[in-house]
Structure 1
Amino acid sequence: MAFRILRMNGYNVSADELYHVAEASGFHPSLEGYLNDTRSLLELHKASKVSISEDEVILDSIGSWSGCLLKEQLRSGGLQGTPLFREVEHALEFPFYTTLDRLDHRRNIENFDVTEDQMLKASYLSCYTSNDILALGIRDFNACQVTYQEELRHLDRWDEHRKIEFYSEHVEIVFSAIYTSVNELGAKASLLQDRDVTKHLVEIVQWPLQWLDLLRSMMTEVEWRINKYVPTTEKHIRNGALTFALGPIVLPALYFVGPKIPESAVKEPEYNELFRLMSTCGRLLNDVQTYEREYSEGKVNSVSLPVLQSGGSMSIAEARREIQKPIDTCRRDLLRLVLRKEGAVPGPCKELFWKMCKVCYFFYSRGDAFSSPEEKAREVDAVVNLPLQLKGSNSASLPVLWEKSNQHA
């Protein structure tokens, strides 16, 4: 746990610190009972997922053997019906980078087991009770839900206004929506940044992702399809990272995160690399889940391309396995950049790139959620609308740490 927490908070801790547990067989016989400690195994497995380099073979090894032992413990039935069973099952199926933070917070609150929580027994937390910590978690989750609901209502009003005003002309819809939105965001962001950033939002300078370039990249894909041109995989990925269109979503949002972003920062290579890794990872995750639909529409992507270029010697299954390597590399490299304390881009802004990468995993790690949105609707609703479901002792005797009227604060 210490390794995972330190690394995820930007401390430079080496995976070599875990070399003594790189293999299950490396345990001393006197520590054999440790292998049957499900909580410890689970923490080791979680630690193995915060890899920031493909060279961290120690973490890969730990992830492999700990995962196998945890699956054996689930099959044994000894944990059946316990909160720990659900936690282990979830951790094995959904690594931390494939879920939304707020969904994890909700799950932790609803499955919180006061009697099992070992961390809270530490002496440095003795001034707090488990119920105090739980109550704070509930307060934070409820306050965030109020914020999300207000933002969603604002978006609904914006969308309704645009439909009424521009529905008749498709081109006018695109131009007016972009023009109005960018200028509105620019005015608000300029107030927060104490300088005029509207020009950057319009141009998205230093990026091959100006709005015009985005549309040109989309047109390139149309021309490939019309002309039956088969690009190289590298060319497809380079162009596809642009048409995945995360730039207009993420880049303006950076100005609203909190820190002041100097103009020089957006010209730094670090800024470009954060965007490239996030967009490439998202594009490849999308390709893995959409290759069948896109191929039926006359499109190619990074799954179908290697199959076509191999003359049929490579199967779809093999191509999907191969593409997993660059996906893992992009994710690890992005996490390493985000966790590095040095750099021109402020930490909270770097975290936004990582959170968007997690959103991509959330939508594409188990299917194409954009084409089948009902599969994710329940989880999104759990974050935005559904009240927490507290069970048993968790719903009773919680301390009142705030007045209800202050939940909007």
Structure 2
Amino acid sequence: MGIFRYFAGEIKRVLDRTYRCWLQTHEEIMVDTATCAMAFRILRMNGYDVSSDELYHVAEASGFHNDSLGGYLNDTRTFLESHKASTVSISEDEFILDTIGSWSGTLLREQLGSRGALRRTTLFREVEHALDCPFYTTLDRLDHRWTIENFNVTSHHMLETTYLSSRYTSRDILALAIRDFSSSQFTYQQELQQLESWVKECRLDQLPFARQKLAYFYLSAAGTMFPPELSYARILWAKNGVLTTIVDDFFDVGGSKEELENLVTLVEMWDEHHKIEFYTEQVEIVFSSIYNSVNQLGAKASLLQDRNVTKHLIQIIPESVVKDPEYNELFRLMSTCGRLLNDVQTFEREYGEGKLNSVSLLVLHGGCTSISEARRELQKPIDTCRRDLLRLVLREEGAVPRPCKELFWEMCKVCYFYSGSDGFSSPVEKAREVDAVINEPLKLQGSHASLVAACCVRETKPR
């Protein structure tokens, strides 16, 4: 629900204890399949070294038919937790997870399609969400909203342990999540207004060729870097997305050969750019926006780090600056995954514009006989890059700090999120998600609604 930062100490202690039990193959975890699958998934995603080999007994259940499943594999919750565990694969060699994912996904879809008792339970929505929105395909903040709106207080029990006092109830946790999400939306709205003012101040809205997608870029920032203390990071992330897209559009359709050459020269000269003239007003707007934004970011970062980092931003961190190959590998995996996801989704539009991408190249030169076959073929390297990136992000050792590596993973999720449809180029796609994260109040019913009212009253009281 996005409130884990309030319980960091308690969560760490529970995870450490769970990991000790995992290493000892303690029956408290291993006997119950749903618990075992959940422990594996949560431990792995928090950087603990756990092997999927311990789930061999779950994979063996693939030989059973749904009607004959017995013992520890006879309920939907077990199927669901097993399926979730299968999605955190970090290697092509984890065949156990592939097997679990195949049979659990099949059984869950069969249950969704039936007219049985599952349709009348809250678990139905959870299964539907897990199948439609794997964790690597959606933004964190959208997941938080979904969990809050679908949280069933009566079915979640907070057990009294040495780590979590009994004074916390499920209702307390939900109230905190509602208050946190609602207050963050107010912050997001203010930040988006600030960005809209920046676009006008830079005159970026006067460029006729530029796609105006500020809300989408800010959504990817607010949806992943959601804590309040990351306000400046969200704003800079969105600015970078806007400028990158404008330059892309300028080179694709907006600029003449002379304008593009002028822009390249200005960027190469950087602080000495005043020695030459702007070829057109368009070039001036584009370059000035880049120049001022990079220098502002550099000044802010240099102040916080007590060293000059502006030169690294100007050089876009080349190999001579970043010596460890881990940086290059993070960039390569994330960028490749994003590039291929985009190609698969935008093939028709780009083909109509006379452009080639990896889909059309596979048909023309790669031996694929159809577009559908080429798209299926590209899914293999996409999955490989995603798994390899997750493994690199979760690895404790390495030169790149974990919080920095996690940004690469979040950006990969953004690529998946926008690849669901050609939403980036559509004037209406993703508008619903923008509203869900930034504008629309939580939609809660029954007793949950009273919690919303209570939280709103609490937020508006003078302090």
* TM-score, length of structure 1 as denominator length: 0.79
- 1:387 equivalenced with 2:441 (yes/no): yes
The answer to whether 1:97 aligns with 2:97 is: no
Counterparts of 1:338-377 in structure 2, within 5 Å, are 338-364=393-419, 366-377=420-431
The corresponding residue for 1:140 is 180
CA displacement at 1:296 relative to structure 2: 1.6
Range moving further from structure 2, 280-289 or 338-347: 338-347
Q: How many residues align?
A: 349
Given the alignment of the two structures, is residue 72 of structure 1 paired with residue 110 of structure 2, yes or no?
yes
Superposition deviation, residue 195 in structure 1 = 1.1
**1:202 is matched with which residue?**
314
Equivalent-residue separation in structure 2 for 1:318 and 1:298 (angstroms) = 21
1:52 to 90, 94, 108: 90
1:135 partner letter: A
Deviation of the 1:60 alpha carbon: 0.7
2:189 to 149, 152, 173: 149
Give the corresponding residue for 2:339: 283
2:292 aligned partner, one-letter code: T
Name the residue aligned to 1:20: 57
Which residue does 1:3 correspond to in 2?
40
What residue is the counterpart of 1:217 in the other structure? none
Q: Partner of 1:319 in structure 2?
A: 374
For 1:110, the equivalent position in structure 2 comes to: 149
Aligned to 1:182: 294
- Give a deviation string over 1:218-256, Cα, whole Å, max 9, x none: xxxxxxxxxxxxxxxxxxxxxxxxxxxxxxxxxxxxxxx
| Aligned twin of 1:306 | 362
Q: What SS does the aligned partner of 1:79 have?
A: helix
Separation in 1 of the partners of 2:391 and 2:366?
34
CA deviations on 1:83-119 (whole Å, 9 max, x unpaired) are 211110111111110000000000000000012225x
Contact persistence 1:282–1:357 (CA under 8 A): yes
The verdict on how the C-alpha distance between 1:39 and 1:125 changes in structure 2, with shifts beyond 3 A counting, is: farther
Shifted more, 22-31 versus 174-183: the winner is: 22-31
Shift of 1:145: 1.7
Superimposed CA distance per residue, residues 360-385 of structure 1 (whole angstroms, 9 cap, x where no aligned partner): 10000x22111224121101210011
Q: Give the alignment partner of residue 391 of structure 2, picking from 310, 328, 336.
A: 336
Q: Is the 8 A contact 2:79 2:108 kept in 1?
A: yes
Q: Is the 8 A contact 1:20 1:26 kept in 2?
A: no
CA 1:100–1:310: 2 relative to 1, 3 Å: closer
Superposed displacement of residue 17, structure 1: 1.2
- In structure 2, relative to structure 1, the CA distance for the partners of 1:400 and 1:380 (3 Å cut) is closer
Matched residue type, 2:315:
E
Question: Equivalent residues in 2 for 1:237-276 (5 A)?
Answer: 266-276=322-332
AA partner of residue 156 (structure 1): E
Change over 3 Å in CA distance of 1:140–1:207 after alignment to 2: farther
Paired residue secondary structure (2:339): helix
Does the CA-based 8 Å contact 1:4-1:46 persist in structure 2?
yes
Match of 2:218 in 1: none
Deviation at 1:138, TM superposition (A): 1.5
Cα displacement (A) at 1:31: 7.0
CA distance in 2, matches of 1:164, 1:203: 24
Cα distance between partner residues in 2 of 1:31 and 1:165: 60
In structure 2, the CA distance between the partners of 1:373 and 1:117, relative to structure 1 (3 Å rule), is farther
Distance 2:89 2:132 in 1: 17
Q: Which has the higher contact order (CA 8 A, sep 6+)?
A: 1
Is the 2:179–2:455 Cα contact (8 Å) retained in structure 1? Answer: no
Please tell me whether the aligned partners of residues 345 and 422 of structure 2 are also in contact (alpha carbons under 8 angstroms): yes
Stretch deviating more after TM superposition (51-60 or 167-176): 167-176
Q: Which deviates more from structure 2 when the two are superposed, residues 66-75 or residues 100-109? A: 66-75
CA positional deviation for 1:165: 9.9
Which ranges of structure 1 fall in alignment gaps of 5 or more residues? 209-262
Match for 1:276: what amino acid?
A: R
Q: Distance in 1 between matches of 2:287 and 2:206?
A: 10
**Distance of 1:286 and 1:95 partners within structure 2:** 18
Identity, % of aligned pairs?
Answer: 70
Give 2:203's aligned residue. 163
Residue 25 of structure 1, CA deviation: 4.5
Q: Give the deviation of 1:45 after TM superposition.
A: 0.5
Structure-2 change in CA distance of 1:73 and 1:165 (3 Å): closer
Inter-partner Cα distance in structure 2 for 1:296 and 1:400: 51
Shift of 1:401: 11
RMSD: 2.7
Measure the CA separation in 1 of the matches of 2:63 and 2:425: 46
Conserved? CA contact 1:166–1:172, under 8 Å: no
Residues 67 and 92, structure 1, Cα contact 8 Å, conserved in 2: yes
CA–CA distance in structure 2, aligned partners of residues 25 and 202 of structure 1: 54
SS of structure 1 residue aligned to 2:154? coil
